[in-house]
Amino acid sequence: MATKTAENFKCPKCGSGRTKPLSIAIAGGTRRRNTVGISRRSMWGSTSTYKSDLIAGLPQRPSNGGAYFLMFLGGCGLLLALFVASNEKGAEGFAAGVGVVSLLLLVGGIGAKKRPDLLATAQASWDKRWMCARCGHQWET
């Protein structure tokens, strides 16, 4: 695999030599920009990525990042619910609401988390994916 370069693969669909691994296509077509958003309720900072339409349509490398993020949000929410329930009188309804939503996030995150072996398999197959810059065809080498 390490000895193969872009020139070694021709698109199996259209025969174009303008092919590259998905990982390189995405890394080369993605720009990061830090933004700060403000709404009436909160202010947040985020890292947005801007991609070309072609790159945006490509599958991202499988990861458990989203699942861990959900679990993290759920954990924080539960702490907030506990905090509100024990410190604010008359806010039990609010605390219960936050608690239920947080629990759903936590369970959702655990459910979305891929098993390590399945994740490794999905990542390995993603790493082998190539795409054609001419017709957009994707295949695994």
In the complex, which residues of this chain contact Zn ion (CB under 5 A)? 11, 13-14, 16, 132, 134-135, 137
Residue 114 host element (H or E): none
Q: How far is the CB of 125 from Zn ion (least distance, A)?
A: 20
Phi/psi for 37 (5° steps) reads: -110, 145
Question: Rounded to the nearest whole angstrom, what is the least distance from the CB of residue 137 to Zn ion in the complex?
Answer: 4
Q: Whose Cβ is closer to Zn ion: residue 14's or residue 124's?
A: 14
61/134 with CB nearer Zn ion:
134
Among residues 113 and 134, whose Cβ is nearest to Zn ion? 134
**Structure tokens, 119:** 């994740």
Tell me the closest approach of the beta carbon of residue 19 to Zn ion, in angstroms: 7
**Smallest distance from the beta carbon of 25 to Zn ion, in angstroms?**
13
DSSP secondary structure of 47-94: EEEEE-HHHHTSPPPP-SHHHHHHHHHHHHHHHHHHHHHHH-TT-HHH
What are the two backbone dihedrals, phi and then psi, of residue 5, each rounded to the nearest 5 degrees? -120, 175
Helix (H, G, I), strand (E, B) or coil at 20: strand
Q: Which is nearer to Zn ion, 106 or 132 (CB)?
A: 132
